[in-house]
Amino acid sequence: MPYFATFAVVDVDTYTGRVEVQKLVVLNDCGTVMYATGAESQQIGGQVMALGETLTEELVYDRASGLPLNFNLIDYKMPTMANMPDIEPVLLEVWRGAGEYGACGIGEGAVTCTPRAVANAVYNAIGVRIDELPLTPEKVLRALGKS
């Protein structure tokens, strides 16, 4: 069983509500690392999906029909490499003896901690907790009482 921790540094514009992630540090206690470059790439790649979930990706449904209104890649905003912050992958090697040569998973869990880390960093920045993803500018402004 792998263990993960993610730390985020954010800037929050209290006038526009925009959240910009400046840096992510992604720690993975993944047992024996057999290919460090590949393992770090899994951590970095997972952050693209994680930041999409955290900041931009949201399916909007028609309340009357229940059908998705933005079920396309134009209205469903996914991050690109141009949108990514500095990412520092950290691999910890703690022998578990569970997998082949003591290795554990990497790719699956790389996404799990980032939304919480960013939401907590936003809370630390503005003093108000937002408990619904994605952390859109509208939600930030509403939390600040500026809706």
Tokens of 96: 């578990």
Cis link prior to 134 (omega < 30° from 0)?
A: yes
**Under 8 Å between Cβ of 83 and 66:** no
Backbone angles phi, psi at 18, to 5 degrees: -75, 130
108 in active site:
yes
E strand or H helix at 143 = helix 137-143
- CA 146 to CA 140: how far, in whole Å? 9
User: Cα(101)–Cα(13) distance, rounded to whole angstroms?
Assistant: 47
Residue in 20, 53, 100, 108 annotated catalytic? 108
Q: Which amino acid is at 139?
A: K
Residues belonging to the active site: 108
